[in-house]
Structure 1
Amino acid sequence: MNKLQAHYTAATSIVDWTKSESYHNSFLIAKDDVLDFAVKNCIDHGLPEIAVSATQGKLLNLIARSIGAKRILEVGTLGGYSTIWMGRALPDEGTLISLEIDETYAKVARENLAKAGLEDKCKITVGPAGESMENLHPDVPFDLIFIDADKASYPKYFTEAKRLVKKGGVILVDNVVLFGLVNDLSVTDEDLLHFVLGIRQLLADIKGDTDVEATTITTVGEGGFDGFMYIVRK
């Protein structure tokens, strides 16, 4: 451990991570009335506050732009916050399909997308995401797929995403670290185990899968200690 590491070993709480994220965002992410409206609209309608952070949203936007994504699939809409970030990265002819099981969430998301002027580019399909994915047979595969929904179903979502994404396309899977619980073999709480086992199965399925290359990026920030998986379809 070098002197810098030793000096700041105390900076390991969500308070520290949130302060750091907010400081960086003050330089890198401008105030955005549309996104602020989306956040407030979700809160006003009682949606759970589990959307991606602004930092993660901008990362999604940058990834979509950097790979030149024209067709995006999102698994898990919630209130459309991440949908707006990715939708803004699309070119004029681009499209985004977002899958959401809850009609109330979808209604709020449509309001937020309309406020963002993205209702023509971004469409929401309501129903169980696994079934919705099975029913997708696009003539042109997706460039980018973002998975952020029921963790227990991640293996199913990944299988379908691999079918739906183009060769060289990207699959992003959120919340794959879950405060370090995924590798904690002592977890017995049924609700947590429901999530953890899904992610463990996803990891097991990807191990040795010659169709993809993948890595997990661990993150800390206002959302706590978590991470996402970055997968490229070969």
Structure 2
Amino acid sequence: MSISIEENWTRSDQFHNSFLTQPDETLEFALKNSTDHGLPSIQVTTSQGKYLNLIAKTIGARRILEIGTLGGFSTIWLARALPEDGKLISCELEQTYAEVARANLKNAGVQSKVEIIVAPAKETLSKMTPEQPFDLAFIDADKSSSLIYFLQAKRLVRKGGVVIVDNVVRRGTVADPAITNDSNEGVRSLLKHLKDDKDVEATTIAWVGEKGYDGFLYALLK
């Protein structure tokens, strides 16, 4: 029996994960607890979570900014990359999501490293004036505001730091001018800005897997 291309992508993800990622009850708990509380299943995949974890470790991150907490799945991966005195600040709009995420973070034993701020991210970010800049920012929130979030992250992340934006390929539809929804237009605005931003070097890393065909934008701040 033939399988669909999406099923093949999922099988590939799971096959690679079986060699490269150990089973983890706390992450499984986070996924189940989020589902049980009605949160949408739009979090990063396991392989993407580990990718974020490895990036944070590679650059020696001590302070991380996350925009979009959801149930805390990516938050756990990122927090695990931090040293014991590291700090992750995560911005979340929905109080219910934040409560579920806090339970998941506590179960994973990383709650002491994480602060979740419940408010519109645009307001939270505009008020931030940290004594120490962040080393890494991960943006996974409403795509229509991608440029706004990126410019705030650029202000708050140190030179030599990294900003990663999720969902910038969107099954290839961002490249199709006929598809003009708010999410695609938000990503296009970010890309147009980056074309002339001399303070940033960036590339898109497209991927296929359990969540279909999409990609991250990886930006290095000069």
Could you state the TM-score of these two structures normalised by the residue count of structure 1? 0.93
- Aligned equivalents of 2:217, 2:206: Cα separation in 1: 9
SS in 2 for 1:162: helix
* Structure 2 counterparts to residues 18-37 of structure 1, below 5 A: 18-37=10-29
Could you state the TM-score of these two structures normalised by the residue count of structure 2? 0.98
Aligned to 1:206: 194
1:75 to 62, 67, 70: 67
Q: Is the 8 A contact 1:11 1:17 kept in 2?
A: no
Aligned to 1:13: 5
- Aligned equivalents of 2:192, 2:159: Cα separation in 1: 22
- Aligned equivalents of 2:185, 2:178: Cα separation in 1: 12
* Deviation per residue, 1:16-67 (Å, 9 max, x gap): 1111111110011111000000000000000000000000000000000000
* Structure 2 counterparts to residues 43-192 of structure 1, below 5 A: 43-188=35-180
- Aligned equivalents of 2:112, 2:128: Cα separation in 1: 19
SS in 2 for 1:132: helix
SS in 2 for 1:139: coil
Q: Is the 8 A contact 1:143 1:170 kept in 2?
A: yes
Aligned to 1:4: none
Q: Is the 8 A contact 1:38 1:112 kept in 2?
A: yes
Q: Is the 8 A contact 1:142 1:164 kept in 2?
A: yes
How many pairs are equivalent? Answer: 221
Give the partner amino acid of 1:209: D
SS in 1 for 2:176: coil
Displacement of 1:139 in angstroms is 0.7
Aligned to 2:183: 195
Q: Where in structure 2 are there 5+ consecutive unaligned residues? A: none
Percent identity, aligned pairs only?
Answer: 56
* Deviation per residue, 1:175-207 (Å, 9 max, x gap): 00000110111115xxxx010000000001111
- Aligned equivalents of 1:23, 1:117: Cα separation in 2: 28
- The structure whose Rg is larger is 1
- Aligned equivalents of 1:181, 1:232: Cα separation in 2: 25
Extract structure 1 runs of 4+ deviating beyond 3 A. Answer: none
- RMSD between aligned residues: 1.2
